[in-house]
A and B are shown apart, each in its own frame.
Chain A
């Protein structure tokens, strides 16, 4: 994202909704520094106790797979079904495996 405006740079917001859970992307806020970004994220995304944890990351620092390479990028995973437990046959009578 470009930072052409006068509203501070863009930060992506990640919320952990309960202790022990993964952080999940919630949206974005503007902020001029880390502290302001964190405060803005709190006021914008957690007004009703939505989070026990909060991350803000400069949007420009996010590295993403481009759309054009999406399919080929993830291709190595598609033909390895033996990575899934359901691939395997088990003898009758086995419980809880």
Chain B
């Protein structure tokens, strides 16, 4: 018994040394339980977000204003599905099955990004999502390319390559609308007003209120804190808004002498309300996923029967 404890301690020391030396951890390597648990939660939450995120955008495929924009939107949504799959396959290397991940999502034990609990009310929302929501996601994902877990890091590299198209197509939509009629400009500004704060909330709670960020930073699962990443996003996005004539819905924004912007604070009550399940579309998003997963059960059963027949 004592011998096991010593071994565990040594293993942990070796593990932390690897992390400190910026080495990547691979699926079959020894890892402490809290490292594995944190990864399982974070990667699956990330995967679920990609997949649930297809819903608000899918809402506009049939109403895209041109064939060009419809093709682009379809390609973007297909990418999101692909990103979900990269991430599920990275998460599965930790010894949890795909079915289990989906079950946890359906039972409400696993979360996805709260941003997808907001509705997409008009076409400008598709622009705002690509530009702001994907923009915030990229800021986080660029940092996660350096995460200590090998399969997660490789999935992030792949995703980042594809994401910048998402952000650009969104910004292009907003820019075009801002160059358009008075009504179109009003639509773009309205989308900006509704998506700015939720986009900032995507980075998660304030550093002091983020219960697990200690573990995540110690093990280099995350490389930058929520607040650091949020600040990066704010600083690069404000000038992009101003360039096309959009107003950022934060009265406290001021350009400082050093070229950076000061800004206001997130409404944390709204943040926790949506995280805890009372956002505008929480029930609808999950119900949709459950419905199609259940309706697809017979397809999986048939395919399984076919596989069994082939391998017999």
Q: Tell me the interface secondary structure of chain B in the complex.
A: helix
Given contacts A10-B92, A29-B85, A29-B89, contact A5 B307 (CB under 8 A): no
Q: In B151-189, which residues have CB < 8 Å from any A CB?
A: 151, 154-155, 158, 162
Residues of chain B within 8 A (CB-CB) of A43 are 78, 82
B104 interface residue (CB < 8 Å to A): no
Give Cα A1–Cα B97 distance, bound, in whole angstroms: 9
Instruction: Count residues of A near B (Cβ-Cβ below 8 Å).
Output: 25
Which of A4, A8, A10 contacts B303, CB < 8 Å? A8
From known contacts A27-B90, A32-B307, A33-B306, infer whether A7 and B78 are also in contact, taking CB-CB under 8 Å: no
CA distance A67 to B29 in the complex (A): 6
**B4 at interface by CB-CB < 8 Å:** no
Q: Are A44 and B306 in contact (CB under 8 A)?
A: no
* Choice from B30, B78, B98 contacting A67 with Cβ under 8 Å: B30
Contact with B along A16-41 (1 / 0, CB 8 A): 00000000001111101100100000
B30 to A, closest residue via Cβ: A67
Measured CA separation A6–B296 after assembly (Å): 11
Interface bits A54-68 vs B (CB < 8 Å: 1, else 0)? 000000000010110
Let me know if B307 and A33 touch, CB within 8 A: yes
* B304 & A8 in contact (Cβ 8 Å cutoff): yes
A15 to chain B, nearest CB (A): 11
Nearest residue, chain B, Cβ from A13 = B89
Cα–Cα distance between A64 and B154 once the two chains are bound (Å): 19
Using Cβ atoms and an 8 Å threshold, which residues of chain A touch B155? 27
**Contact between chains at A48 and B162 (CB < 8 Å):** yes
Inter-chain contact A28/B301, CB cutoff 8 Å: no
For residue A47, CB closer than 8 A to chain B, the reply is yes
Give Cα distance in the complex from A68 to B30, angstroms.
9
CB of B300 closer than 8 Å to a CB of A:
yes
A43 CA to B78 CA in the complex, in Å? 9
Instruction: Report the 7 A-B pairs with minimum CB-CB distance, sorted nearest first.
Output: A5-B99, A32-B303, A28-B89, A5-B97, A32-B307, A7-B98, A6-B300
Measured CB to CB, the residues of B under 8 A from A are 28-30, 75, 78-79, 82, 85-86, 89-90, 92, 97-100, 151, 154-155, 158, 162, 297, 300-301, 303-304, 306-307, 310
**15 A–B contacts, CB within 8 A, in A order:** A2-B97, A5-B98, A6-B300, A7-B98, A8-B300, A8-B307, A10-B92, A26-B158, A27-B151, A28-B89, A33-B310, A44-B86, A47-B78, A67-B28, A67-B29
